[in-house]
Structure 1
Amino acid sequence: GFTGLALKTGLNDKQQDYLKKIKTSSQTLLGIINDILDFSKVDAGKLELVKADFMIDDVLDSMSDMFCNKISEKGIEIIISVDPSIPVALVGDSLRLSQIIMNLMTNAIKFTDKGEVVLYVSLVDKKDDFVLLKFSVKDTGIGISEEDIAMLFTPFTQVNIKNTRKFGGTGLGLAISKKLTEMMGGEIWAESMPGKGSVFNFTARFGLQISNRPPVFLDSHFRGNDVIPAKAGIHFAGKLVDGYLTKDKEIYPEFIEIRVLVVDDNLTSCETMVSLLKSFNFLPDSALSGEDALQKLTINARENRDYSLVIVDHMMPDMDGVKLSERIRENPIFRNIPIIMMTAFGIEEIQIQASKLGVNSFLIKPIKRSVLLDTIMKLFGKKIEVKSDEKGKTETADNSIQKFKGLKVLLVEDNSINQQVAKEILNLEGIIVIVANNGEEAVDLVNKNFFDIVLMDIEMPVMDGFESARLIRKNITRKLPIIAMTAHVFNGYREKCLESGMDDYITKPIVPEELFKIIKNAVPLFRGAA
């Protein structure tokens, strides 16, 4: 809560980065604390998956934030490689998906001292209303014997006592992951050999979001030539249609045939970057060493096929990224080509040194698709639209500020810290907030004042949220949306809230985006009703 509020204040880039990582780490810690509760709930059949709209890119970006520090701590490469044909707008439980990925990635990093950990995301099957995705976490770590693999997903079981003492056991994470993948209509399995690394795979099924925006038929040059209403990502007669948001190939036609050279000695990392650039319509080429890069730059310049951009990794043998950048700037033939350097988090001194040599911009590994595009667009002087969380819409950041201005909310919460966090989150959107410290105060305030919506905590002294909601419904005739706020996630608890007269339910800790989505859905339906 307070971290999110701090992120909205005036901060420099480094402060923003630190706070974002504090926020991510806090959320991770909360997830770990909940692991034991999760397993007991799954085992008792009391955990249900949420069906909500989410963007797969957001899930993967959060993984990048979560593990970027591990790169500098262990000196390993973390790579996220995504099949560009995967629809980005999905329906399912993104929190539980993140939990599975986090469990597998954490173990892979823990048991890998050198080399790389790669998360692959691929499309297994796609129908009109769902997709089946495969997630694979591959590492170059210590590996697992065949007999130990059989015990991996058994709760409270640790394999190989020697390695457990050195690295720490896997705990309940894999057992929970197995249960969750089964609930998502998938399966989980592992492949490994001692000393050769491991691959942990799981599949999961997700729904496809329905778009409010008519999709566009695209011709071979990715220009729209017809419009019909349809679901997101459907193919008609072999023509590409995407009803969620126009694809990057349509949004950025100016990148078609722009040549980019990627220089990275890690083949997996290099191939992943090439794939990302292709998804933006660039024509990428690759080099696995500094010498190879200089040779390609020279040959292409002589043939009048100059590169418009060079993306170079910092850590390379023989000739690192800093030295290569220096060599590029010394050559009059291609000295003016923009350079982006990929670095690990926490090596600001390298960035300062590289900047003095003429490196134009930097990317922190693991590379996020959105950050890569943002960096390139800024380099080329382009403006970027901010994609909305809402289906079929784009908006600038300014348009999203204070869209609820003037809305009057009754916040019913007994905890002073929770009051402050919720109030400031709501105030930032221009919402007027009146606070009640318990259910009894809430009933009295509703009887004497007009509110657009009530946010109701459940467990409070004097009068709880259930009783307060029942009395509010009894005392007033107009329709007033009441939203429950609670940390309970057991089956049946949401139904209990609805039975007491509440209209919806949001779990704590409150995620602002989810809260505003619920408010938006609830208020227009009731405002002005007699």
Structure 2
Amino acid sequence: MIKEKILIVDDKIENLISLERLLSDFKVDFVRAESGEEALKQTLHEDFAMAILDVQMPGMDGYETLDFMRQRKKTKLLPVIFVSAIHQSDLHIIKGIESGAVDFIPKPIIPEILQGKVKVFLDLYRQRKELNTLLNYLETKNEELIIEKTKAEDATRAKSLFLANMSHEIRSPMNGILGLSQLLRKADLAEEHKDMLQVICTSGENLLQIINDILDYSKIEAGQIEIEEIEFDLKKLVDTIYHLLNFKTQEKNIEFIVDIEDNIPISLIGDSFRLNQILMNLVNNAIKFTHKGSVKLSIKCLEKNNEYVSLFFSIKDTGIGISKEAQTKLFKEFTQTDSSTTRKYGGTGLGLAISKNLTNLMGGKISLESTPDIGSEFMFELKFAYKEKETEMLNNENVEIPKQLSILVAEDNPINQKVAILTLRHMGLQCDVAKNGLEAFEMHKENHYQVILMDMQMPVLDGINATEKIRHFESENPDLAKTFIIALTANAFVEDKQNCIDAGMNDFISKPFKEEALKKILSQVSKSIA
């Protein structure tokens, strides 16, 4: 262990020896100097905890020595105690303190006084040294944390960019597969072909669910999920889930029961998309692991006041059940109860983790009760603001879309062009097509479309820049009616939607899209321009 050093300065060697003996209990190293000049030289080479300095010395006296010390950065704050036989008046003590000494002790020295004062300044030096060491450590750690934070942010950005690109590249062909499959469903086909088409549609939707699970988990992990507050009809949402999943229960010959209490308000305000996602995940899971009996979705009203309603959701099945040990890891990412479950039933192991995270984000908490070979019940509570009466907004899909609605599809992918054209044609609507953003801008300048379906990623000019050019053109021509721009894109991140809105788009649909989603938005547009 390195000892602290004390500089002792006196022109008489016997005084230096006396000081060392008086302070021998402190276990420090003493450095002697027999003149002011020698003391200054020692301070150039050594670091001292303090100095004890005689006043009367030949050549440079103690006052002058201290004055030079205070002019140097290294010794500017060094604690110095004067010792001197000059004590006839307070004048010398005052001069010593004014020159920068921390104390003045007259000779002959009283040992207890000197020892007490040295102990104080040694303790202060040690504490300051420990503090500096700690500060240096914290500074080093802080620099390391900044480096690690920068690396983590770079990794997150790279991951988000990779996921965004992968999402776009996967969703674009999925839009072609599912879009055309959905249109074929409405065609007059032989039963054999309908069965084949059903397999294509089911497989495509299962693949899309896996893509959505991975993307949603990544968005949750990156904190990119935003919970919306939008008015919706709970009973319609549940009815849609029932119709989407009932065919699965029919195939397995099990019963699908829905029980919603009558006292639940018609119109709730919250994130219907995320609630639908939670319920779809939980009901899908229940159906997957149930081979006989039933799956029951129950919704009860726990509390209702003038501001909000608290709802209890239960998904109960008579399936294979889950052991206590398996329940402990059930909500972990990429995890199923055991490897045989994955082999037999498939899945990413993300559905329950996503449901748990979304429930937490919406202010609720998910729980589970299960017994092997008897069944499971997943439960959660959520609060929603509400309206007593169904508003007009919930019926927009009933508004008739005028056949003469002028529509431009801005899309560079030929397959996605065909999907959009055929979907609109099935709705009784016609459209023009632009192969890139610049072409879309030029065509709109000439034709003044009422609606533009705008892809985000296009050559020459992307959808964001094309929208900004269109809005700038409209601002320069205020007599023209503003076109309604809908992002129809395979980009599915929160920031993608926000970028579209910030650029001036009115709405956002991610690919692959369903005809009903587009129809609903076009119904709203038709009502606003009627």
TM bin (shorter chain): 0.5 to 0.7
Residue 55 (structure 2) aligns with: none
Q: Which residue of structure 1 aligns with residue 334 of structure 2? A: 156
* CA distance in structure 2 between the partners assigned to 1:124 and 1:24 by the alignment: 37
Does 2:366 match 1:188? yes
Where does residue 132 of structure 2 map in the other structure?
A: none
Aligned residue type for 2:285: N
Q: Out of 494, 497, 502, which is 1:499 matched to? A: 502
Give the whole-Å Cα distance in 2 for the aligned partners of 1:172 and 1:104: 12
**Aligned partners of 1:132, 1:21: CA distance in 2, in Å?**
40
Change (3 A) 1:147 1:474: same
Please list every run of 5 or more consecutive structure 2 residues that lacks an aligned counterpart in the other structure: 1-178
How far apart, CA to CA, are the structure 2 residues paired with 1:394 and 1:426?
15
1:418 partnered with 2:421: no
Give the aligned partner of residue 159 of structure 2. Answer: none
Alpha-carbon distance in structure 1 between the residues aligned to 2:351 and 2:206: 13
CA 1:101–1:29 in structure 2 vs 1: closer, same or farther (change >3 Å)? farther
**Quick check: 2:210–2:347 contact (8 Å CA) kept in 1?**
no
Match of residue 59 from structure 1? 237
2:299 aligned with 1:121: yes
The aligned counterpart of 1:409 is: 407
Q: Is the CA contact (8 Å cut-off) linking 1:481 and 1:523 kept in structure 2?
A: no
Q: Distance in 1 between matches of 2:384 and 2:198?
A: 28
Deviates more, 1:513-522 or 1:179-188: 513-522
| CA offset digits 1:163-202 (Å, max 9, x no partner) | 5665557711111110011122211000123333221112
1:24–1:65 CA contact under 8 A, matched in 2 = no
Larger CA deviation: 80-89 vs 177-186? 80-89
Task: Select 1:132's aligned residue among 285, 299, 310.
Answer: 310
Cα RMSD for the two superposed structures: 3.5
2:281 maps to 1:103: yes
Q: Structure 2: how far apart are the matches of 1:167 and 1:501?
A: 45
Q: Is the 8 A contact 2:233 2:394 kept in 1?
A: no
Q: Which residue of 2 aligns with 1:510?
A: 513
CA distance in 2, matches of 1:482, 1:163: 46
> 1:54, CA displacement in angstroms?
3.6
Query: Relative to structure 2, which stretch is displaced further, 173-182 or 104-113?
Result: 104-113
The structure-2 alpha-carbon separation of the partners of 1:507 and 1:128, relative to structure 1 and needing over 3 Å to count, comes to farther
Q: How has the CA–CA distance of structure 1 residues 73 and 506 changed in structure 2, closer, same or farther, with 3 Å as cutoff?
A: closer
Deviations 1:64-106 (A, max 9, x none): 3444344455443332222232234334333332332232233
Instruction: Indicate the residue corresponding to 1:484 in structure 2.
Output: 487
Q: Which moved more, 1:406-415 or 1:500-509?
A: 500-509
Secondary structure at the residue paired with 1:157? coil
Measure, in 2, the Cα distance between the counterparts of 1:506 and 1:165. 34
| Matching residue of 1:458 | 456
Instruction: Note closer, same or farther for the CA distance 1:482–1:70 as it changes in structure 2 (3 Å cut).
Output: closer
Residue 440 (str. 1) matches residue 438 (str. 2) = yes
Deviation at 1:122, TM superposition (A): 1.8
AA aligned opposite 1:191: E
Determine the C-alpha separation between the residues in 2 that align with 1:505 and 1:170. 27
CA distance in 2, matches of 1:30, 1:394: 25
Shift of 1:19: 7.1
Larger helix percent: 2
Quote the residue 1:236 is aligned against.
none
CA deviation string 1:340-378 (max 9, x = no partner): xxxxxxxxxxxxxxxxxxxxxxxxxxxxxxxxxxxxxxx
Give CA-to-partner distance per residue, 1:373-432, whole Å, 9 cap, x none: xxxxxxxxxxxxxxxx8446896xxxx55x322111121111222222222333444444
State the match for 2:171 in structure 1. none
Map 1:300-319 → 2, pairs under 5 A: none
TM-score (norm 2): 0.57
Q: 1:158 to 1:498 in 2, by over 3 A?
A: closer
- 1:263-296 deviation per Cα after TM superposition (whole angstroms, max 9, x unaligned): xxxxxxxxxxxxxxxxxxxxxxxxxxxxxxxxxx
Question: Do the aligned partners of 1:481 and 1:526 also contact (CA within 8 Å) in 2?
Answer: no
8 Å Cα contact 2:319/2:374 also seen in 1: yes
Out of 204, 222, 225, the residue aligned to residue 382 of structure 2 is: 204
- 3-state SS of the aligned residue for 1:405? coil
Q: Map of 1:84-99 to 2, 5 A cutoff? A: 84-99=262-277
For the residue of structure 2 that corresponds to 1:90, the secondary structure is: strand
CA 1:159–1:498: 2 relative to 1, 3 Å: closer
- Report the CA distance shift for 1:391/1:75 in structure 2 as closer, same or farther (over 3 A): closer
1:370 matched residue in structure 2: none
Q: Percent identity?
A: 43
Alpha-carbon distance, 1:463 to partner: 1.6
Amino acid at match of 1:457: D
Which of 256, 259, 262 is 1:78 aligned to? 256
Identify if the C-alpha distance between structure 1 residues 520 and 138 changes in structure 2 by more than 3 Å, giving closer, same or farther: closer
Q: In the TM superposition, what are the counterparts of 1:14-413 in structure 2 within 5 Å?
A: 26-71=204-249, 73-160=251-338, 167=345, 171-208=349-386, 231-232=387-388, 243-244=389-390, 390-391=393-394, 401=400, 403-413=401-411
How many Å separate the matches in 2 of 1:509 and 1:69? 22
Q: How far, CA to CA, are the matches of 1:517 and 1:75 in structure 2?
A: 34
Q: Distance in 2 between matches of 1:86 and 1:190?
A: 24
The answer to whether the 8 Å contact 1:406/1:430 transfers is no
CA, structure 1 residues 468+14, in 2 after alignment: closer, same or farther (shift >3 Å)?
A: same
Instruction: Compare 175-184 and 501-510 and name the one that shifted more.
Output: 501-510
CA contact (8 A) 2:336 2:342 kept: yes
